[in-house]
Chains A and B, each alone.
Chain A
Amino acid sequence: MTTEEEDEVIARLSDYLDGAAANRAEIEAKLASDPDWKRLHDEMVESTEAAKQLSGLRKAHAPVTFTEDVTGTIEKRSAGRFFARRTFGDRVPFGALLVVALIGLGIIGYVLWSSSTGSLTTDKPGEPHDKTELVPAP
């Protein structure tokens, strides 16, 4: 049996042992008649059994500082340019922004209300209204 042929048999036997083979009867007939198939089958059963020990290996955990280490390395290598920076950090203070906006609107409203002209330019008391002559005197 060539390596390619053996690989093909292994693939089919792997499906058979996993219960995923569609043609089980055909494979069983091969196992009964072909010693190469039987040898590979027996080897696979034994090696699969040995491999089951591996699932009992403890899971290794990353160090506690791992996340900080990675982000720190990225920051260092990119000279702090990698992550998008936000003006307000991670959380936008919507409440504070609303208060500032309301105060701003209040100030504008007061200035408009207290102005006799209804514009942002207010007249100072005691000064002539037409300080700037639009039409110069002849």
Chain B
Amino acid sequence: MTEIERSLLRRLRDRDERAFRELIEQHRDRVFNISYRMLANREEAQDVAQEVFITVFKTIDTFREEAKFSTWLYRVTVNHCKNRIKYLARRHDRDRDELDENTRETNGAIATPARAAQPDRALEGAQIEVLLEAAIKTLDEDQREVVVLRDIEELSIEEICEITGLADGTVKSRLHRARLALRKKLQGKLS
């Protein structure tokens, strides 16, 4: 931990508002990007990123200076994202159950949603992005976590081990299986 980080930490513990603002300015984009790539939804990502900083502010006194501050911050971020993924999955299941219930009540008279019209000239880059996002979304939260941290955020395996609390071998094998799943999803779709 650098002296600048230590000084910032001292000010954070003193509840210095300017220090909190500095901290947010320094890390907001990375925290937001991790959240966005894990949740694949801008509004959810924004909400989770906010909660991450609020958690950090509330629990700053519990941070031990053994690890890098950014490692701790990213750990808080991925934990929040994984919780949100689980919550959204539960809500999705509940909504689907309710929908099924309503379907039975209305004798299955459900309108099929109209397929969104594809823009005639979608940019190739944007199309690839959509495909990649969709592929990431099919991974479970544990696989998503390692793929986002390693292949999108380009963190080292060592940092990922610290963030996730997993053993080196587990991170590597999980990453391999996640990449394999991604590759299967993207096969034939990307040149």
Contacts and interface: CB of A to CB of B under 8 A. Distances in A.
Interface of A: 6-8, 10-11, 14, 40, 43-44, 46-48, 50-63, 66-67, 69-71, 73-74, 77, 82-84, 90
B179 A74 contact: no
Contacts of A71: 17, 20-21, 24
B173 A10 contact: yes
B161 to A, nearest CB: 12
A61 B29 CA distance: 5
A50 B182 CA distance: 8
B152 A55 contact: yes
A57 B37 contact: yes
**Which 7 pairs across A and B sit closest by C-beta, in order of nearness?**
A47-B179, A62-B32, A11-B169, A50-B183, A7-B173, A83-B17, A54-B151
Given A11-B168, A55-B152, A67 B21 contact: yes
Contacts of B129: 57-58
Contacts, number: 118
Contact of B29 (A10, A54, A62): A62
Given A51-B150, A54-B151, A71-B20, 13 more contacts: A7-B172, A50-B186, A60-B45, A61-B33, A62-B46, A63-B46, A66-B28, A70-B50, A70-B54, A73-B50, A77-B54, A84-B16, A90-B18
Nearest to B175: A14
B172 A60 contact: no
B182 A83 contact: no
A74 B54 contact: yes
B183 A47 contact: yes
A18 B175 CA distance: 14
Interface in B156-191: 157, 168-170, 172-173, 175-176, 179-180, 182-183, 186, 190
A57 B28 CA distance: 18
Given A7-B173, A47-B179, A55-B154, A83 B49 contact: no
B183 A54 contact: no
A60 B36 contact: yes
Interface in B32-84: 32-33, 36-37, 42, 45-46, 49-50, 53-54, 57
B44 to A, nearest CB: 12
Contacts of A10: 169, 172-173, 176
A47 B176 contact: yes
A83 B20 contact: yes
Contacts of B46: 62-63, 66
